[in-house]
Amino acid sequence: MPRGTNRVRFWDQITPKVFRSANSRHISPSASPSANSRHFNPYAFAPVNTRHFIPPSTPALARSGYYRINRVLRPTRVFRMDCDVLWSPLEWKLGDSIPRNALQDYAISPPVTRLRLTAALLPWPIDVFPSQAVAYGDPYVSVLDIFKAIYNCLKTPVTLEEYNRFGGDGMYSHNYVLAKKASLAFHKRCRSFGMDTMRRVDYLLGRTHFKGLVQSIGSPTEWEIIFD
């Protein structure tokens, strides 16, 4: 077990506390974390609910044999987005050039029914599936499905068993050092948002801004997340 584990709070070692309902505190979609949110836990949000989004009509796609990523998910996009995965995707600043209903567009074209996402420091893969039925054709993975899957995965608490498993390769091994750095990221997050349990997002070591996706070599349905 990496040293310092006894100073980290794990979900399976504490008494669960009841978080305030997301409906009990209004936060404007244009709001962003500030010094006044020191004791506000962004993970107190209820699961992201997208029923108020209206899917756009399904456009015809020319199936040309290769996959093209949605412009919102490209790391080289020219428009500004503030996508901090510490916060619900419904709180992200998408910019004036991206309407909210664009989140229901295909994540990649031609559309797919499953995607797997990975990140350089994250031990857990993220599998993404369609969250909504469509009027015509098969369900597809949308841009919002990507955002929701990333957020819901990263807010998941880390258990002591997982911490030991991913950090138990011996002192000063890569996994050991990563677990130690994740512990430091956990304490830094607690200083900003108040006491919490260790979560998967801490393995990003503070790099919590989503920058885009790049395709993995050899598979059209496996993509790597770029964080900064």
pLDDT in tens, 71-130: 889 887 666 677 899 999 888 877 777 777 888 999 999 999 999 999 999 999 999 999
Q: Which residues make Cβ contacts (< 8 Å) with residue 64, sequence separation at least 6?
A: none
Residue of 31, 62, 48 lying closest to 145 (CA atoms): 48
Q: How many other C-beta atoms can be found within 10 angstroms of the C-beta atom of residue 49?
A: 12
Q: Is the pLDDT higher at 95 or at 156? A: 156
ω into 110 cis (within 30 of 0): yes
User: Which residue carries 């608490």 as its tokens?
Assistant: 157
Q: Is the pLDDT higher at 160 or at 100? A: 160
Q: Is the pLDDT higher at 52 or at 171? A: 171
Q: How many other C-beta atoms can be found within 10 angstroms of the C-beta atom of residue 105?
A: 20
**Lowest-confidence range among 31-45, 62-76, 84-98?**
31-45
Q: What percentage of the chain has pLDDT greater than the value 70?
A: 68
State the pLDDT at residue 82. 79
Please tell me the distance from the alpha carbon of residue 115 to that of residue 112, in angstroms, as a whole number: 7
Asked whether residue 142 carries a pLDDT value surpassing 80, the answer given is yes
State the pLDDT at residue 141. 95
Residue of 101, 128, 131, 102 lying closest to 117 (CA atoms): 128
State the pLDDT at residue 27. 34
State the pLDDT at residue 63. 37
Average pLDDT on 154-168 reads 88
Residue pair 128/146 in contact by the 8 Å Cβ criterion = yes
pTM: 0.71
Q: What percentage of the chain has pLDDT greater than the value 90?
A: 36
Please tell me the distance from the alpha carbon of residue 26 to that of residue 73, in angstroms, as a whole number: 28
State the pLDDT at residue 158. 93
Residue pair 145/80 in contact by the 8 Å Cβ criterion = no
Residue of 110, 79, 93 lying closest to 209 (CA atoms): 93
Please tell me the distance from the alpha carbon of residue 52 to that of residue 38, in angstroms, as a whole number: 30
Burial bucket for residue 161 (CB in 10 Å: 0-12, 13-18, 19+):
exposed
State the pLDDT at residue 58. 34
Q: What is the pLDDT of residues 194-221, one digit of tens each?
A: 878 899 999 999 999 999 999 888 777 8
Q: Which residues make Cβ contacts (< 8 Å) with residue 26, sequence separation at least 6?
A: none
Average pLDDT on 35-44 reads 42
Q: How many other C-beta atoms can be found within 10 angstroms of the C-beta atom of residue 221?
A: 17
Residue pair 120/224 in contact by the 8 Å Cβ criterion = yes
State the pLDDT at residue 165. 85
Band of residue 224 on the pLDDT scale cut at 50, 70, 90: very high
Average pLDDT on 63-69 reads 65
State the pLDDT at residue 204. 95
Element containing residue 10 per DSSP (H, E): none
Residue pair 68/213 in contact by the 8 Å Cβ criterion = no
